[in-house]
Amino acid sequence: MASELDIFVGNTTLIDEDVYRLWLDGYSVSDAVALRVRSGILEQTGATAAVLQSDTMDHYRTFQMLERLLHAPPKLLHQLIFQIPPSRQALLIERYYAFDEAFVREVLGKKLSKGTKKDLDDISTKTGITLKSCRRQFDNFKRVFKVVEEMRGSLVDNIQQHFLLSDRLARDYAAIVFFANNRFETGKKKLQYLSFGDFAFCAELMIQNWTLGAVGEAPTDPDPQADDMDMDLDKEFLQDLKELKVLVADKDLLDLHKSLVCTALRGKLGVFSEMEANFKNLSRGLVNVAAKLTHNKDVRDLFVDLVEKFVEPCRSDHWPLNDVRLFLNQYSASVHSLDGFRHQALWDRYMGTLRGCLLRLCHD
């Protein structure tokens, strides 16, 4: 008896987004098939379990072959083996480099080395993210870091150019690279309330204002071993921050600063009496954080210090966020009325960034 067989021939690589997500999430073929069955796909399509198994395996083989190209996304665009429309290429790249908030929060600020990679088993258990997915995300962070660490210019632009990520995802990777390079502590218990988004927001401010790239011009020394423009904090700026100590070391300046702030905010703050009583401690905390940033350990502990010296005191006195905003704005601006202070530009560069970070850190 003759059999009829329908055959379709095409050269466009078919990408099933749901199967791609399962592959990215680290599920085995058998687990992926089981999840697809539970989604009701057999009833929706009329396919058999054997066809579903074959379809899933075929997609997995395709993704595994594509993975080496995804490690260097421009290669995916220029290769001729897989005929994939540009919109699909963008989707493949964006989703491959996407990451889980729970995972990035565990590794943020840590050295992207074999030592950290050994911890992925524990991170997988803690977060519920499969070990395979943890490894993919970690390797992506490390790959991006390695590619851009020696490059000059905008960190975000370099990431976009070499990995073809969306602006938002490139900015997130810039924050991850920046934190890994400067080894900021993010894992302490008192910092656990902060999300990756909180740290990324602060990273963007610091990149824009505290790095060599923020100065607006490249160093005259063309030495390729010189600091990277957007990855490294401006060491000269950090050294100069010691000059701000005069704001708390000089009693007259400290008293005048307090008087200016209190005069401007009287009747405007719900926590005015608490602010007035604690002004000098808060000011010493903020200025001393600046003065200590010449030491690598204190740079790493920046967020710990900000929470201890400012966020926790404000929280214990129940400052509303708007009162924090009013105080920081006036605290920063009043320095310009201190006749004996000669470091206004330095102060603005420091407090402009710190004010934004502190407002983000003070959320509930």
Q: What is the pLDDT of residues 79-132, one digit of tens each?
A: 989 999 999 999 999 999 999 999 999 999 999 988 888 899 999 999 999 999
User: pLDDT averaged over the chain?
Assistant: 92
Please give the backbone phi and psi of residue 221, each rounded to the nearest 5 degrees, phi first. Answer: -80, 115
Band the pLDDT of 10: cuts 50, 70, 90.
low
**Residue 220 scores a pLDDT above 50:** no
Average pLDDT estimate for 280-304: 95
* Over residues 192-221, mean pLDDT: 84
What does pTM read for this prediction? Answer: 0.90
The tally of CA atoms less than 13 A away on the side-chain side of residue 245 is 11
pLDDT of residue 213: 82
How far is it, in rounded angstroms, from Cα 265 to Cα 319? 14
Q: Is the pLDDT of residue 292 over 80?
A: yes
Q: pLDDT at position 139, please?
A: 97
pLDDT recorded at residue 215: 65
The string of pLDDT tens digits covering residues 146-169 is 999 988 889 999 999 999 999 999
Answer whether residue 226 shows pLDDT above 90.
Answer: no
Q: Is the pLDDT of residue 356 over 50?
A: yes
Q: Is the pLDDT of residue 217 over 60?
A: no
Does the pLDDT value for residue 225 go beyond 80? no
Q: What percent of the chain has pLDDT over 70?
A: 93
Considering only 22-26, 108-112, 178-182, 212-216, which range has the smallest mean pLDDT? Answer: 212-216
Does 218 have pLDDT greater than 60? no
